[in-house]
């Protein structure tokens, strides 16, 4: 009989992608482990086909009703370990209804919002760790052997793969621009995205825009379309998460700010040019494309705090509505040329 493990990571899409890598590691080395994942409603749509994982959807918009539903779902169960992989107070409070012999939380440095009160064991501290590596520390705390490489297992339905392949055969080689982060200040300027799109199009490679169904995604895509010199194809708000993942897999390259599709692309092996100003890409960047990140974070945080990033608390954000303006078109063009030259 394998261990009974419950993990709590509700959101967001990028962090769920990081958590999948840890789940894949557990399943690789402990195939008999019984894994229960408490997850957000939207995020579930990305990972719902992962085999041998029982998902409990926690719809935080339902407030106390969501906690009651979680309590009912785990009634009478005791887990060998609860992995408390979200420091938000809402998640910590909800975790109280889950019975577990070990309640493993973050180390003191990464512990916020009274997170430490709800855990009886902590992961080892790691200086300057990427979020994904921080999640892997939970597998370490369980005693799961270390994998030689980071891998992801996010299955999608055959029809979603076929849908993406059909578009890929029609488009030929294409680059995806996923321009909208969750907050407008983290977005690059639409006219600069358009300049990059024009540049790539002139090189003979197609460009498409993608994004979620939200208002910011729609407005950002429309602003880019108004500036480009060709008719760019727009998938914004028109795909499921599995269709989007399949489309990202077919792309030559993805250009995106600090947003979920950048990490989704990483899970399927597509190179990413991440655009960063507010957060340190060493911590939150696309994991396998950190060398291709275009970042002005170091300069912004130095200017605001008077110290270099490595002398400041890990994860500290730069603040300001216009920081992304410090990323020039030429900086991104340089990375585009470099990455496209490396592709077969």
pLDDT tens digit sequence for 75-96: 999 999 999 999 988 999 999 9
pLDDT tens digit sequence for 225-257: 999 999 999 999 999 999 999 999 999 999 999
The rounded percent of the chain whose pLDDT value lies above 70 is 100
Same fold, 4-142 and 159-342: yes
Q: Is the pLDDT of residue 112 over 80?
A: no
113 confidence band (pLDDT: 50, 70, 90): confident
Which of these, 9, 194, 209, lies nearest to 104 by C-alpha position?
Answer: 9
Which of these, 272, 275, 240, lies nearest to 257 by C-alpha position?
Answer: 275
Q: Is the pLDDT of residue 1 over 70?
A: no
Per the document, the length of the chain is 344
Quick one: 4-142 is in which CATH superfamily? Glycogen Phosphorylase B; (3.40.50.2000)
Report, as an integer, the average pLDDT of 287-302.
Answer: 98
Structurally, at CATH architecture level, domain 159-342 sits in 3-Layer(aba) Sandwich (3.40)
Q: Where are the domains of the chain?
A: 4-142, 159-342
One-character DSSP codes across 59-109: -GGGTHHHHHHHHHHTTT--EEEEEE----HHHHHHGGGS-EEEEEE--TT
Q: Is the pLDDT of residue 344 over 80?
A: no
pLDDT reported for residue 235: 98
pLDDT tens digit sequence for 184-227: 999 999 999 999 999 999 999 999 999 999 999 999 999 999 99
């Amino acid at each position: 009989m394998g261990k009974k493990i419950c993990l709590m990571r509700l959101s967001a899409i990028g962090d769920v992608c990081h958590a999948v890598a840890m789940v894949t590691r557990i399943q690789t080395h402990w195939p008999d482990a019984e894994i229960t994942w408490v997850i957000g409603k939207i995020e579930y749509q990305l990972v719902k086909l992962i085999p041998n994982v029982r998902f409990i959807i926690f719809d935080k918009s339902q407030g106390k009703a969501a906690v009651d539903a979680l309590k009912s779902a785990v009634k009478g169960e005791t887990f060998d370990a609860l992995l408390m992989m979200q420091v938000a107070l809402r998640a910590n409070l909800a975790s109280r209804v889950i019975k577990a012999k070990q309640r493993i939380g973050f180390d003191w440095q990464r512990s916020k919002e009274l997170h430490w009160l709800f855990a009886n064991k902590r992961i080892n501290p790691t200086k300057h760790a990427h979020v994904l590596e921080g999640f892997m520390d939970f597998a370490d705390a369980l005693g799961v052997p270390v994998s030689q490489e980071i891998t992801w297992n996010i299955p999608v339905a055959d029809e979603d793969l076929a849908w993406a392949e059909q578009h890929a055969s029609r488009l030929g080689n294409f680059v995806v621009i996923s321009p909208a982060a969750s907050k407008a200040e983290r977005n690059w300027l639409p006219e600069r995205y358009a300049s990059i799109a024009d540049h790539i199009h002139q090189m003979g490679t197609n460009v498409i825009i993608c994004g979620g169904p939200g208002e910011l995604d729609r407005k950002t895509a429309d602003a880019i379309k108004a500036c480009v010199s060709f008719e760019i194809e727009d998938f914004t708000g028109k795909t499921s998460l599995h269709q989007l993942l399949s489309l990202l897999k077919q792309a030559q390259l993805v250009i995106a700010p600090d947003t979920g599709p950048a990490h989704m692309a990483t899970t399927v092996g597509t190179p990413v040019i991440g655009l960063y100003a507010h957060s340190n890409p060493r911590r939150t960047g696309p994991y396998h494309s950190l060398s291709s990140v275009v970042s002005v974070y170091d300069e912004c945080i130095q200017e605001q705090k008077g110290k270099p990033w490595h002398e400041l608390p890990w994860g500290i954000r730069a603040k300001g509505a216009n920081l992304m303006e410090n990323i020039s078109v030429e900086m991104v063009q340089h990375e585009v040329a470099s990455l496209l030259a490396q592709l077969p």
